[in-house]
Chain A
Amino acid sequence: MPLPSTMTPIATNTLTSNLASGVITFSNIPQTYTDLVIVAVGQGYTSSSYGNLQVQFNGDTGTNYSSTELKEFAGTASTSRRSTQSYLFATSFLDAGSASLLVGTSIINVMNYANATTYKTTLSRGNLPGFKTELNVGLWRSTAAITSLTLTANDTPINAGASFTLYGIKAA
């Protein structure tokens, strides 16, 4: 039996040239879905191994974000905590200095984004081939419905070929 369509692409941005700012914005997000999923595939540019992929919702630059990271890096399991941040740490983001043909993947789930009652939570997975694999949970302390979001890579530019897609997920 065919499955119902529950995962719908809202917007996608594939870079045809290096993005110096490292900033990707999705605005006017429809309020018709249950959850959001962002799939980011690509690489930033420095000689180091990886940087961060950060999220801000609705242009909020206040210290209203926190997150907890569980990761494997260099053969060691560890956890770290970021609280009272001006951005939400989503995942690490692979740098091109690692190897030109390697790309990292970030999958960010934003739950119940359209409600105007509760704070918003995220669950995200980062995969940096050869370096790190991680699981993160995040919180934005705002009851506002999410109508826009900004992804920022702190190692810039983001290299051409990187792809950022926003999906909407509908509950059955």
Chain B
Amino acid sequence: MANMIPISTVTVGSGGAATIDFTGIPQIYTDLLIKVSTRDNLAYSWGQGYIRFNGSITGYDGRQLYGNGSSVTTATGSGNWGTNYALAGRGTGASTTANTFSNGEIYIPNYGGSYYKSYSYDGTAENNATSAMAEIVGGIWSNTAPITSITLLTPSQTWQQYSTATLYGIRKY
């Protein structure tokens, strides 16, 4: 029996998209895994990448550790990151090398369980320049509801064409 099952793939078309959405997530798996590769139009050394569960705009927190090629930095959830959505890794942005997209994965264990929902992100936003990004993120959505939908967003920006994300379900039985 296959135990890592592709549930859905979203690839952004021409014109871009404000969000990448997975809805109606089946409640028949143990964990969820999202393989993500994105680029947005933020004019910076890297782009953005945030996650929202069930459309909720409360209860998020996270911790980030990243290197940019010259220094190692940490950050914790604050402002919108800590309330309206959670960090889910930086994509590449408008100022990074053309045709370059981020590469990362989000692991969400026990997404249908009765505890608060945690997740981790590992990824990179490569850039043929002095500064790029490699990072790990640990996050939490302080809500006991089963996760039935996931939104990947880049606030005030747009996911660029060819950004893509695939949602997998993982069974432990």
* A165 nearest in chain B by CB position: B172
Stretch at the interface among A54-62, A67-75, A144-152: A67-75
B118 touching A135, Cβ below 8 Å? no
Considering the chains assembled together, what is the distance between the CA atoms of A126 and B2 in angstroms? 26
A133 touches which of B64, B107, B170 (Cβ 8 Å) = B64
Considering the chains assembled together, what is the distance between the CA atoms of A12 and B110 in angstroms? 13
Considering the chains assembled together, what is the distance between the CA atoms of A12 and B141 in angstroms? 25
Q: At the interface, yes or no: A29 with Cβ under 8 Å from chain B?
A: no
A127 touching B142, Cβ below 8 Å? no
Residues of A within 8 A of B63 (CB): 72, 130-133
Residue tally, chain A, CB below 8 Å to B: 39
Residues of A within 8 A of B61 (CB): 129-130
A163 touches which of B107, B110, B119 (Cβ 8 Å) = B110
8 A-B pairs closest in CB distance: A133-B138, A129-B140, A127-B138, A5-B2, A72-B65, A7-B4, A165-B172, A127-B120
Q: At the interface, yes or no: A53 with Cβ under 8 Å from chain B?
A: no
Interface size class of B (residues with CB under 8 A): 35 or more
Q: At the interface, yes or no: B8 with Cβ under 8 Å from chain A?
A: no
Stretch at the interface among B50-58, B71-79, B124-132, B156-164: B71-79
Q: At the interface, yes or no: A157 with Cβ under 8 Å from chain B?
A: no
Q: At the interface, yes or no: A28 with Cβ under 8 Å from chain B?
A: no
Interface centre among A3, A6, A8, A130 (most CB of B within 10 A): A130
- Listed in ascending order, the chain B residues whose CB lies under 8 Å from chain A are 1-4, 6, 30-31, 61, 63-65, 72-74, 76, 107, 109-110, 115-116, 118-120, 122, 136-140, 142, 144, 170-173
Considering the chains assembled together, what is the distance between the CA atoms of A126 and B118 in angstroms? 11
B98 to chain A, nearest CB (A): 29
B113 to chain A, nearest CB (A): 8
B109 touching A105, Cβ below 8 Å? yes
Considering the chains assembled together, what is the distance between the CA atoms of A6 and B122 in angstroms? 20
Given contacts A76-B74, A127-B119, contact A5 B65 (CB under 8 A): no
Interface centre among B64, B110, B144 (most CB of A within 10 A): B110
A41 touches which of B2, B109, B138 (Cβ 8 Å) = B109
B4 touching A5, Cβ below 8 Å? yes
Main secondary structure, interface of B, reads strand
13 example contacts (A-B, Cβ-Cβ < 8 A) are as follows A2-B2, A2-B6, A3-B2, A41-B110, A102-B140, A105-B120, A129-B61, A133-B64, A133-B120, A134-B65, A134-B136, A135-B122, A163-B172
Considering the chains assembled together, what is the distance between the CA atoms of A60 and B173 in angstroms? 29
A103 touches which of B1, B4, B116, B170 (Cβ 8 Å) = B116
* B4 nearest in chain A by CB position: A7
Considering the chains assembled together, what is the distance between the CA atoms of A40 and B140 in angstroms? 16
B136 to chain A, nearest CB (A): 5
Q: At the interface, yes or no: A111 with Cβ under 8 Å from chain B?
A: no
Given contacts A105-B118, A127-B118, A129-B139, contact A39 B171 (CB under 8 A): no
B3 touching A5, Cβ below 8 Å? yes
Q: At the interface, yes or no: A128 with Cβ under 8 Å from chain B?
A: yes
Given contacts A9-B172, A9-B173, contact A70 B76 (CB under 8 A): no
Given contacts A7-B3, A7-B4, A41-B109, contact A125 B74 (CB under 8 A): no
